[in-house]
Amino acid sequence: MISGDSANIKVTSLFAQKAKAYVELTKLRLSLVVSFSSAFGYVLAMRGSVDWMQLTMLFIGGFLISGASCTINQVLEVEYDKLMKRTQSRPLPTNRLNATESLWFAGVVAILGLYMLMIWTNWLTVGLAALSMILYSFVYTPLKRVGPIAVFVGAIPGALPPLLGWTAATGDINHAAMIIFGIQFIWQFPHFWAIAWVADEDYKKAGFKLLPVKGEKDLKTAFQIMTYTLFLIPMGLLPMYFGLTGVNSAVVATVCGVLFLASTIKLMKDQSRKSALRIMFGSFLYLPIVQIAYLLDMVN
């Protein structure tokens, strides 16, 4: 009896470890951000008149597709992940999962996610979701070792979630959809480059080339980061200008944009890792705060 109980405990423990590893493959926090951005675009397009079942399926479907993309990315980069301190503990480098298991997982969750979108949204949304997965997994991922063009390519799937939400609600793409896409697209650049600055030593071990200009942590790179952050300030006002949102959210977006910009000016002054960290954490805060402000200030 004791032996049987021990065996059951061991099986349960192994199952839990496998399940935890599969969850890690999805990059939980990143995929939840993707799902939130999709939900943001949907609710904004619906002006608060939400079909909760459709929104739930969009949220889950977006999460699954993002998880599949992250998994494929890790399968393709496993040898590079082994070289970097920040990624050495992932499921594939630690042999908690192998490439075959991971690819099966990616295939199942990708098909399930696309199927959910097909049933509950429309073909335009399904097509954009598939495009996002292809660009992230098979174009952006290999380009990371080629040069900073990878950041431009990666910014496209990174900015597609709110557009997916909009098309799920409306079935089309108009100027309003492109505004929310554009804000998140421009935001990607200071976000990506701040991470690349902080992780530069690790990235160089893997041959990743994501910093702009000559790929150095210098004034020119800091200026590029500042320039794209500066663009966010006028872009943050476009939802109000086109009647999507009101004045209150425009004020929030402007204040957040100015604070974000101030952190990039600090980086230009000292070109330090500490300043880059401020930008990185600031980018994590900027997007959800501004998106929530837009939702709370929708014009019906």
Q: Helices 273-296 and 247-270: crossing angle, nearest 10°?
A: 170
Residues 156 and 251 in one domain: no
How confident is the model at residue 1, as a pLDDT?
46
Residues 76 and 210 in one domain: no
Residues 232 and 136 in one domain: no
Residue pair 199/291 in contact by the 8 Å Cβ criterion: no
Residues 181 and 230 in one domain: yes
Looking at the whole model, is its pTM more than 0.75? Answer: yes
Residues 89 and 214 in one domain: no
Residues 111 and 41 in one domain: yes
Q: Is residue 233 part of a domain?
A: yes
Q: Is 207 exposed, middle or buried (0-12, 13-18, 19+ CB in 10 A)?
A: exposed
CA distances for 238 relative to 37, 71, 247, angstroms: 18, 35, 11
Residues 195 and 211 in one domain: yes
How confident is the model at residue 3, as a pLDDT?
55
Residues 297 and 181 in one domain: yes
User: Which of 133, 152, 173 is the last residue in one of the domains?
Assistant: 173
Residues 294 and 248 in one domain: yes
| CB neighbourhood size of 79 (10 A) | 10
Q: Is residue 26 part of a domain?
A: yes
Residues 41 and 162 in one domain: yes
What is the tally of structural domains in the chain?
A: 2
Residues 42 and 138 in one domain: yes
How confident is the model at residue 149, as a pLDDT?
95
- For residue 290 the two structure tokens come to 């501004």
How confident is the model at residue 14, as a pLDDT?
82
3-state SS string for 148-195: CHHHHHHHHHHHHHHHHHHHHHHCCCCHHHHHHHHHHHHHHHHHHHHH
Ranges under pLDDT 50 in the chain: 1-2
How confident is the model at residue 210, as a pLDDT?
93
Q: Is residue 117 part of a domain?
A: yes
Domain limits at 286?
Answer: 175-300
Q: Is residue 9 part of a domain?
A: no
Calculate what percentage of the chain has a pLDDT beyond 90.
Answer: 92
